[in-house]
Each structure stands twice: as C-alpha cells, then as structure tokens.
C-alpha cells in the first residue's frame, strides 16, 4: 500500500497517528537543524519534517532530494508550531520515520507553481508537467464537475445519452470535414462529424423522445486564437416540443450548473429578439452585465443632429451614442486613444465624437456645430448625467452598429463592468431564417438548413424570404454565445422548400440529406434541440477567456499537438494499404 491518506486530508484530529503518504516534492527548506519538505498530490500539500538531531541519516537523505521527486513517507502526525492557515493541512506536519524515493526527477523545465515561469509554448510541450499545477488541474476538475452535473440534470428529466457515430459521411459542401480513408473500402472516405445534427434528428424520428450527448466534434478550419480542431458539445434534442419547452428545459440546465458547480443563483433568463439585440447592442450576443445601450441621435425615428451643418452627421445613415457613466474624467489623451482604437481597420469607424457632461454644462468635440441646447437634448436622450461621457459614432447603419458594439464592450471593460465572476445569462430569439450572401448571391441558413420558420412567417418564404424569422435561439452568457438551437422542420415538403431557397438542387439535397428526407416520410415527430459549446461553457464558468485552459491536451493555432508532435508523416506502406498518396499543393 502506497499511502494511508492523501496529502490533502490530515488535520489536528489525526495527531499522533502513524500514517503513510505518497506524492511529489513541491519544495524543500533547509533550516540547519531541520529540513521541511512540502509533499504534494492532487488533493493538497502536507509538510514533512526531518530533524538532524534525532535522525541525522534520514535528514541527510532528505536534503539530497530535488523538486518533483516522487516520495513515499511514513511518520507521525504532529501539531505544527507555526500553523499555515492557507492550507487545510496547515495545522500539522509529519515527523518522518521512513522515506522511500519512488522515482527521481530531473529538473523540470519550468516551476510547478501557481504562477509558473514557463511560457505558453514550453508548457504545451510539457503539458504533463503543466497539468501538475493547481491552476490547470482545477480547470479540469471544474470541467469534470460540469459534465457530471449536466448528466445528472438531464438524466433526471429522462434524457437518454446516446452515442452517435464518429465515422460518418462527408457532404459535398463539407469543405471543413476531416476525412478518414477506409482501408476496407478503397477510394472511399469517412468524415468526422462537425456535429451529430442529423443523427440526433434521426433519434427523434426513432422515437427516443429526449436525447443528449456530451460529444467530440471536429472542424478543419483555420484556427483563430480560441478555436480547436476537435471540440466538445453538449448536444440535445427533444420531440413533441415547442420553442418554449426547450428554452425552459435548458434554462433549467444552466441554473442547475450555476447552483451546483458555483453555488450561484442566477435570475430567470430574459429574452431579447435578434432585431432588438442588433439595434441596441450592435451584435447578436450582447453582454448584458452592463447596460450602456445604443441611443439613436439619428435613425430609429429620431434626428437630433440635423440642420447644423455638420456634414459627417448629415451624411450619416445613423448617429449612435452610448453613455459611459462616470467617464467624464477621461482625459484628452484617453479620448485620443479611443479615437485611434475605433479607427483601426478591425473596428472601421471614421472617427469618434464625444461629449462630457458636467455641472459646468456639456463640452463636446463638435461644439463648433452644436449649441448647448442641442447637446442638452442629446444628454436627455441618452440619460447622461453630471460626470458621464457620451461617445458617438456615425455612418451607415450596419457598420456603425458593429463599430459601436466593439466600443461599448471596450468601455464596459475599461469601466470595470465586465467582471469574470459576475454572470448575466439571457436568450436571444427570433433569428432570421436566412442570411443573404453578397458574394455567392444566394441565401445561407443562418442556423442550419433544418431550422423551421416561425409558422406565422412561412408565407414570407415565397417572396420576402429574407424577412422570415426562424424558431431559433441562442443562449448568451456575458456576451458569449454558449449555446444555440432551433425547432426543426419535420415536414418533408417544407424541408424541400427550404433546401430549394438555399440553392440546393433536388439532386444535391437528395445526395446530401437523402436519408434524413427519407426518414421524414415515416412519421417524423415535431422536434427541436440545442447544442452548447462545452469547452466555452467551462471556460466561462472558470472565469477565463481561453478555452485551451479547459482542455487537457489542446492543440495550438496550427492544429498541432506539440507534446506528441502530431500530425506527422506516415509510412509509405501505410499509405499504400489505405490506397492514398500525398500530392503536395504548390505553396
């Protein structure tokens, strides 16, 4: 037996017991007559004491041990003289009587501490050492707890977890599919699923009623900073439900997770239409931890800017202001920095107008054009008070909304309104069915091709398809889309119509989704579902913006696992066996 206790459980109640521990040498302190070693395992740290006077041999041996050595010690639990209130075992130490080195360690390439000296790249290469750090392990413990509680909640509601296949069929539009050559079917390929969408719908056709799965999905796309080629979804589907049933069920899920994992009670989720979100927040996943909604000085039926000869506003489709409460103290330098920031190509504004509201009146960067009365109207319209700062952008509607959305988030951050331990969750609903793509001159499905239109908007599909709203919804927490779904089409004729709107020929639709369309002929029930990005949800619960921190063995931005050095070349024999060859594209 390697241990009687873990390094995290001994307290004063164990005093005078003889115990055995195993763990890693976290640090060692040599104080002349005494040597202290902090022994670490997953559960905590326990102090080991070696006394040169009473046991010189053992103490001398202990002094030779290096960081990250694996030790097994037996000894007696004693109350410490100087207690450490920071750790649960801080009241005691072990007077060691036996010491065994279970394994030695060469010096690790970085320190295994809360704040390590290792850079990202190094820690990725030695991920197994990084995993020893409390901070990293705690993230993965959180992830485990999230998964367990997700399953507990859904199991109680009679959801069945069903494993759908990983080796599936590639679709003609599957440019982002990873593919897998089949040795037994030469020249043919499987694809890895980007989501289990069609399978979960087939489970509904199969009468499974309530399905979920915490499941790996795959997308071969150029990776932005925070994407991974393999990622995990909480994937769910229900039948005989309307949108309201899904929203209630999964609002319950996040409430359950917040309560059980973080002991936080979150209020009932508010609901916002897509149109409202775009108009007053400039994006479809507003961060509502703070207000700072858009006010239209021009546009949305208002015009508080006309007739004063300010060409920028006069030419603009809209003029949008936000009220940064208490920010009138912003210096000229800060405002110049904000101006530079909004003019960056990623944001795309042509300039920034501001107005400071103070007891002395309102001072704006457009005082030349607008008199105090007008500025006062602006202040009233934006409910700006003494000490507040109005920030104003103008231009075409979509572009200005987008830029102002970014500025709003920046100001929220700068004013400390976006705390990672504060949670604001809500639903965005009534997404449009379709998105017009200027490049290909055709509609794309905003959610996916199986999304059903709102019954009252079906008539729009024939003539003004772009206006038709879908029974589609996203869950947004702190400005992050953590989940999204829709009520699906369960009627083969409506599905055909939508495929045709999306530019599929009958043949394409048949080739790509034939088995689903066919399944719909045999009594498909009304159904709908949702999928949550599990990596993202975990990072959000953990208060981090980096999903990589919540994945045990993540890949880097080139899709490489630098620890195991994958992907890699394979042997010519293996390629022959698989009936494939490499044909490098000229670069």
Q: Between residue 374 and residue 433, which ones bind a copy of itself under the rule CB under 8 A? A: none
CB 574 → a copy of itself: shortest distance, Å? 7
Contact pattern from residue 446 through residue 485 relative to a copy of itself, giving x for each residue in contact according to CB under 8 A and a dash for the rest: ----------------------------------------
The yes or no reply on residue 147 touching a copy of itself (CB under 8 A) is yes
Query: Among residues 359 and 569, whose Cβ is nearest to a copy of itself?
Result: 569
Q: How far is the CB of 56 from a copy of itself (least distance, A)?
A: 26
21 vs 355, beta carbon nearer a copy of itself: 21
> Rounded distance, CA 562 to CA 124, Å?
7
Nearest to 395 by CA among 403, 405, 406: 403
Q: Is 157 in the site for a copy of itself (CB under 8 A)?
A: no
Alpha carbon distance 30, 152 (integer Å): 49
Q: Restricting to residues 529-558, name those near a copy of itself by CB under 8 A.
A: 551-553, 555, 558
Q: Which residues make Cβ contacts (< 8 Å) with residue 336, sequence separation at least 6?
A: none
Task: Kindly tell me which of 436 and 553 has the beta carbon lying closer to a copy of itself.
Answer: 553
- Rounded to 5 degrees, φ, ψ at 551 are -120, 130
* Region binding a copy of itself by CB under 8 A among candidate stretches 201-209, 308-316, 362-370, 500-508: 201-209
188 binds a copy of itself (CB under 8 A): yes
Q: CB–CB of 375/364 below 8 Å?
A: yes
- Tell me which of 76, 180, 302, 335 binds a copy of itself, using CB under 8 A: 180
CA proximity to 10, closest of 49, 50, 44: 44
- Of the candidate residues 29, 42, 83, 459, the single one contacting a copy of itself (CB under 8 A): 42
**Nearest residue (CB) to a copy of itself, 25 versus 428:** 25
Residue 203 interacting with a copy of itself (CB under 8 A):
yes
Residue identified by tokens 């149109």 is: 275
Query: Can you spell out the DSSP letters for 311-349?
Result: HHHHH-SEEEEEEETTGGG--HHHHHHHHHHHHSTTT--
* Binding status of residue 198 toward a copy of itself by CB under 8 A: yes
Helix (H, G, I), strand (E, B) or coil at 83: coil
Is 64 one of the binding residues for a copy of itself (CB under 8 A)?
no
Minimum distance from residue 20 beta carbon to a copy of itself (Å): 10
Candidate residues 218, 227, 300, 544; the one interacting with a copy of itself per rule CB under 8 A: 218
Q: How far is the CB of 143 from a copy of itself (least distance, A)?
A: 8
Residue 354 · residue 434 · CB < 8 Å: no
Closest CA to 170 of 186, 202, 193: 193
Describe the crossing of helices 243-262 and 134-156 by its angle, rounded to 10 degrees.
Answer: 140
The smaller minimum CB distance to a copy of itself, of residues 109 and 326, is found at: 109
- Our finding on whether 229 is near a copy of itself (CB under 8 A) is yes
Instruction: Give me the half-sphere count of Cα atoms (radius 13 Å) on the Cβ side of residue 390.
Output: 32
- In the bound state with a copy of itself, the residue whose beta carbon lies nearer, of 202 and 476, is 202
- How many residues touch a copy of itself (CB under 8 A)? 128
Subset of residues 105 to 144 that bind a copy of itself, contact rule: CB under 8 A = 105-106, 108, 126-132, 137, 140-141, 143-144
**Among residue numbers 233 through 272, which ones bind a copy of itself (CB under 8 A)?**
240-242, 245
- What are the residues facing 23 on neighbouring strands? 71
| 11 token code pair | 């307290």
Please report how close the Cβ of residue 108 comes to a copy of itself at its closest, in angstroms.
6
Is 5 one of the binding residues for a copy of itself (CB under 8 A)? Answer: no
**How far is Cα 545 from Cα 259, in angstroms, rounded to an integer?**
21
Tell me which residues in 271-290 interact with a copy of itself (CB under 8 A).
none
Shortest distance (Å) from residue 179 CB to a copy of itself: 6
- Helix (H) or strand (E) segment spanning residue 249: helix 243-262
Q: Which is nearer to a copy of itself, 19 or 168 (CB)?
A: 168
Q: In the beta sheet, which residues pair with residue 472?
A: 486
Q: Which residues 300-359 are close enough to bind a copy of itself by CB under 8 A?
A: none
> In 382-491, which residue ranges form alpha helices assigned H by DSSP?
397-414
Interaction of residue 523 with a copy of itself, rule CB under 8 A? yes
66-105 residues near a copy of itself, rule: CB under 8 A: 68-70, 102-105
566 scored as a contact of a copy of itself (CB under 8 A): yes
Does 443 help bind a copy of itself (rule: CB under 8 A)?
no
Beta carbons of 543 and 254 less than 8 angstroms apart: no
Q: Which residues are CB-contacts of 119 (< 8 A; sequence separation ≥ 6)? A: 110
Residues facing 22 on adjacent strands: 72
To a copy of itself, the closest distance from the beta carbon of 475 in angstroms equals 22
Rounded CA-CA distance 506/504 in Å is 6
């Amino acid at each position: 037996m390697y241990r009687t206790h873990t390094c995290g459980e001994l307290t004063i109640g164990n005093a005078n017991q003889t115990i055995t521990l195993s763990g890693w040498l976290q640090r060692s302190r040599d104080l002349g007559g005494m040597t202290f070693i902090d022994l670490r395992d997953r559960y905590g740290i326990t102090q080991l004491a070696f006394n040169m006077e009473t046991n010189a041999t053992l103490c001398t041996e202990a002094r030779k041990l290096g960081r990250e050595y694996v030790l097994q010690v037996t000894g007696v639990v004693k109350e410490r003289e100087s207690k450490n209130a920071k750790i649960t075992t801080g009241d005691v130490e072990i007077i060691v009587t036996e010491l065994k080195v279970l394994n030695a360690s060469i010096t690790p390439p970085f320190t295994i501490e809360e704040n390590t000296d290792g850079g990202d790249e190094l820690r990725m290469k030695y991920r197994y050492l990084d995993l020893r750090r409390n901070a990293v392990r705690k993230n993965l413990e959180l992830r485990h707890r999230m998964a367990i509680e997700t399953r507990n909640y859904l199991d109680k509601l009679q959801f069945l977890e069903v494993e759908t296949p990983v080796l599936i069929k590639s679709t003609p539009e599957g440019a982002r599919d990873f593919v897998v050559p089949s040795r037994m079917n030469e020249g043919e390929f499987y694809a890895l699923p980007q989501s289990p969408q069609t399978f979960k719908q087939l489970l509904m056709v199969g009468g499974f009623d309530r399905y979920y799965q915490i499941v790996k999905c795959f997308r071969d796309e150029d990776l932005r900073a925070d994407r991974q080629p393999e990622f995990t979804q909480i994937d769910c589907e229900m039948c005989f439900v309307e949108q309201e049933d899904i929203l209630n069920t999964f609002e319950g899920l996040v409430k359950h997770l917040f309560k059980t994992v973080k002991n936080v009670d979150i209020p009932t989720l508010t609901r916002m239409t897509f149109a409202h979100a775009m108009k007053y927040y400039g994006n479809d996943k507003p961060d509502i931890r703070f207000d700072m909604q858009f006010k239209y000085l021009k546009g949305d039926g208002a015009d508080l800017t006309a007739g004063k000869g300010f060409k920028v506003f006069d030419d603009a489709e809209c003029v949008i202001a936000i009220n940064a409460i208490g920010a009138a103290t912003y210096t000229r330098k800060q405002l110049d920095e904000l101006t530079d920031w909004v003019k960056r190509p990623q944001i795309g504004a042509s300039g920034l107008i501001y107005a400071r509201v103070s007891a002395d009146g309102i001072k704006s960067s457009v005082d030349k054009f607008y008199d105090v009365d007008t500025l006062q109207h602006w202040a009233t319209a934006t409910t700006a008070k003494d000490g507040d700062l109005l920030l104003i952008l103008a231009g075409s509607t979509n572009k200005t909304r987008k830029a102002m959305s970014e500025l709003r988030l920046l100001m929220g951050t700068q004013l400390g309104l976006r705390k990672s331990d504060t949670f604001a969750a809500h639903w965005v609903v009534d997404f449009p069915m379709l998105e017009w793509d200027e490049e290909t001159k055709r509609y794309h499905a905003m959610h996916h091709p199986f999304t059903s239109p709102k019954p009252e908007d079906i008539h729009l599909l024939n003539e003004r398809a772009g206006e038709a709203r879908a029974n589609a919804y996203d869950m947004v927490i702190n400005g992050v889309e953590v989940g999204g779904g829709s009520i699906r089409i369960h009627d083969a004729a409506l599905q055909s119509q939508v495929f045709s709107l999306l530019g599929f020929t009958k043949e394409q639709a048949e080739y790509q989704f034939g088995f689903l369309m066919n399944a719909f002929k045999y009594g498909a029930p009304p159904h709908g579902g949702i999928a949550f990005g599990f990596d993202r949800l975990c990072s959000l619960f953990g208060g981090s913006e980096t999903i990589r921190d919540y994945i045990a063995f993540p890949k880097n931005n080139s899709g490489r696992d630098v620890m195991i050095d994958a992907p890699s070349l394979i042997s010519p024999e293996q390629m022959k066996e698989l009936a494939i060859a490499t044909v490098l594209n000229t670069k």
